[in-house]
Structure formats: structure tokens, C-alpha cells
Amino acid sequence: MNRKILIVEDDASTSAYLAKGLGEAGYAVETASDGRDGLFLASEGIFDLIIVDRMLPGLDGLAMTGALRAANIATPVLVLSALAAVDDRVDGLKAGADDYLCKPFSFAELSARIEALVRRSDRAASEPQKTRLSVGDLEIDLLARHVTRAGRTIPLGAREFNLLEFLARHAGQVVTRTMMLEKIWNYHFDPGSNVVDVHIGRLRRKLEEGFGSPILHTVRGAGYRLASEG
């Protein structure tokens, strides 16, 4: 079965070059010449990979990628762009792209990156998805969005649950304020508020009051760590 790749590129010669090369490599290829058409096709969820130019008419490549991620479409996205500065590449990855290749590029490198992204996607699809997380005597049911500690139910609001899930997925590791702002609040900058600390304080009280040992630890000057032992 051929892998399906969507190319979203407004430059006709580049699009034709990519389509020809990828077709010869055994991929089934579809093309779109602007971001809106690309988003429409990509939203069908039938592609194994999307190659998108950053500067597109209608809807630019980063906005298109962000819209896909907002719709929970996890198809790997490879951004092509003449914008090669570090900040430009960082912006692309923060928008939800899985890789960022600067123009001009060699087809051999593009092909290698495509193969790597497809392999990674295949591995992720084959791995069983966890429905429960546990840290010491803390149990989190991700499907029911239910939390218990030592068998006692701990009621949490939606934001508190999302914050706890993120901490639990990084159990034993230090999670910084910046990481939490980006993941939970979708801030790619520090708004200068204490929103993280306020929510951490509320979550800590619910997780620890009435229990014998702390589980949500402050790492001074670094962030927070969820662990059954200090």
C-alpha cells in the first residue's frame, strides 16, 4: 500500500518537482496550491505526511498547521521555507510542525526526513495508548478523568486535571513554569502573572491535605516535580 503525501506549495515548479520525485519514490501524491485548500484536504485525515510551504496564499503554512493541531489531526507535517533563521524554525515547530527544512534543499535530505517522520508515526500508532497513570498511591484515570489517592477520590476542575496529567506524564522530572504555560495555557511567552503558581497551590492542597506525605514538590528556581518521594 502506497504512503499518501499531501504537498501544499504555491510555486508550480517546486510542487511539480516534489510530486515527480516522491511519485518515483513510490508515494501517492496529492497537491494543493494554497493554504485553505491544503487545510481542507489535510482535514480528511487520509495522508501519512503533509509537506507544506510556509508562505502560502489564503492561509500561511504555520496557520494551516496550527489549525490541524487544534482539530486534533496528528498527521506529521514537514514545513518547507526560505526563512532559515533559528527563530523562524522555532516558530514552525511551536506551530505544531514535526520538522522544518530550509530552502534550497536536496531531495535526498527531504526523502530521508520523510522516511524518519513516517517511521516515527508508525511507532506511535503501534504503541498502546495509556489510559491510566500512577505516581505512588496517586491514580489517574485518563478516560474517566477521575483521580484518587490511597483510594480516596480527589475532585479536580478541568484545568487542574490537565495540569496534573501533564505533571504525571513527566513524573520524577522537573517541569518548568514555561513548559506548563505553553502546554496548559497555550502561552508561548510569559504573561508575567502567577497563574501557574496559583493553580499549583490549589492542586497541591487537594493532593496532599489529609495525606501523610507530600507528592507535588517545589524545586526552587526551576519548577515543580510530581513524585511519591522527595
Question: What pLDDT does residue 16 have?
Answer: 96
pLDDT at residue 126 tops 80: no
pLDDT at residue 128 tops 80: no
CA atoms within 13 A on the CB side of 157: 6
Mean of all residue pLDDT scores within the chain: 90
Q: Which residue has the cell 499549583?
A: 200
Residue 52, φ and ψ in degrees, nearest 5 = -130, 130
Q: List helix spans (H) across 71-170.
A: 86-94, 107-126, 158-169
Q: Read off the pLDDT band of 35 (50, 70, 90).
A: very high
Consecutive H or E run containing 182: helix 177-184
Question: What pLDDT does residue 229 have?
Answer: 76
Helix, strand, coil distribution of the chain in percent, nearest 5: 40, 20, 40
Q: For the residues 123-143, what does the mean pLDDT come to?
A: 82
pLDDT at residue 26 tops 80: yes
Domain ranges of the chain: 4-126, 132-226
Residues listed for the chain: 230
The amino acid occupying position 23 is G
C-alpha cell at 20: 515527480
* CATH superfamily to which 4-126 belongs: Response regulator (3.40.50.2300)
* Summary count for the chain: helices (H), strands (E): 8, 11
Cβ contact 4:46 at 8 Å? yes
Q: For the residues 46-64, what does the mean pLDDT come to?
A: 94
**Model pLDDT for residues 64-73, shown as the tens digit of each residue:** 999 998 888 8
pLDDT at residue 129 tops 70: no
CATH architecture assignment, domain 132-226: Orthogonal Bundle (1.10)
Q: For the residues 145-173, what does the mean pLDDT come to?
A: 93
Residue 80 class from Cβ within 10 Å (0-12 exposed, 13-18 middle, 19+ buried)?
Answer: buried
* Measured distance CA(65)–CA(138) in Å, rounded: 36
Q: Read off the pLDDT band of 125 (50, 70, 90).
A: low
Question: What pLDDT does residue 187 have?
Answer: 76
The four Cα atoms 41, 44, 50, 55 give a dihedral, to 10 degrees, of 40
pLDDT at residue 36 tops 70: yes
Q: For the residues 143-148, what does the mean pLDDT come to?
A: 93
Comparing 4-18, 22-36, 84-98, the range with the smallest average pLDDT is 84-98
Question: What pLDDT does residue 193 have?
Answer: 77
First to last CA, the chain: 51
Q: Which residue has the cell 526563512?
A: 83
Cβ contact 52:98 at 8 Å? no
Q: For the residues 180-203, what does the mean pLDDT come to?
A: 84
Comparing 34-38, 73-77, 121-125, 155-159, the range with the smallest average pLDDT is 121-125
